[in-house]
Amino acid sequence: MLGSAAQNVIALSDSVFLYHLSEADFASIGFIGVFYLVVAAIGYGFSRGGQIMIARRMGEGRPEEVGRTFYALVYFELALAVVLFLFMQYGCYYFFQLLVNSEVVFAKSMEYLTYRSWGVFFSYTGVAIIALYTGIARTTFIIVDTVILATVNILLNYALIFGHWGLPAMGIGGAGLASTISEAVALVVFMVYILFDKKAVLYHLFTLPKIDFELIKLQYRLSA
């Protein structure tokens, strides 16, 4: 969920566990892991415009505008997530055939992506929340949530890749599922934190505004 640092932690965790599973799995995660880092970076990059605008609203002394700016970013990130998800579900089969010569690596990469592609919704929503709390200069809980994400990912990788604690041994597919679940957990934890954040009302975070296409376009131009 939490930006490029969190995605690097997930990629490292997946690689370490799959290294101990088999050479083919390790080679496959090297390819598909880099691909997913690019996917995550797209969402993270487009969140920068929203972060800039949120920081500007705070600097102008207009905290009540933060929520509207934040939700414009969330709407854009979710729309982008739908596009990337559909590409990963239906386009990557043909795209990877142009890049991968090994049938084993191709099959394992697709197996990983079957589960991992769902994480784009959690990670893209997560980077919007990061942009929010970075823009208002309150980053402490971002670090806490990153630690939670990493911990959950490591535990689930151990359980789902090798089949411990009564869970099935899913191999590289388990790594993809573990990564997606850990992002979902981290997102839920941060949303609970927002619910108990006393300043959330000041930012109008509990008021869901209509889609503001002009605001979304402005954020896009700032990010591009």
CB 26 within 8 A of CB 172: no
When computed from its CA atoms, the radius of gyration of the chain, rounded to whole angstroms, is 18
DSSP 152: H
| Mean pLDDT score of the chain | 92
CB-side neighbour CA atoms (13 Å) of 91: 7
CA distance 33 to 88: 13
| Angle at the Cα of 187 from the Cα atoms of 26 and 160, rounded to 5 degrees | 35
pLDDT in tens, 153-205: 999 999 999 999 999 999 999 999 999 999 999 999 999 999 999 989 998 99
Dump pLDDT digits (tens) for 111-169: 999 999 999 999 999 999 999 999 998 988 999 999 999 999 999 999 999 999 999 99
Per-residue confidence band for 4, with pLDDT thresholds at 50, 70 and 90:
low
Quote the number of domains for the chain: 1
Which residue from 63, 67, 54, 80 is spatially nearest to 194, judged by alpha carbons? 67
Report the distance separating Cα 149 and Cα 120, nearest Å.
15
Domain that holds residue 54: 3-223
Q: How confident is the model at residue 1 (pLDDT cuts 50, 70, 90)?
A: very low
Query: pLDDT digit string (tens) for 36-76?
Result: 999 999 999 899 999 999 999 999 988 888 999 999 999 99
Percentage of the chain modeled with pLDDT above 70 = 98
If one compares 62 and 3, the residue with the highest pLDDT of the two is 62
* pLDDT value for 5: 75
What distance in Å separates the CA atoms of residue 215 and residue 54, rounded to the nearest whole number? 12
pLDDT band at 223 (very low <50, low <70, confident <90, very high): confident
Select from 123, 224, 144 the least CA-distant residue to 192.
144
Give the per-residue pLDDT at 3.
58
* Model pLDDT, residue 31: 94
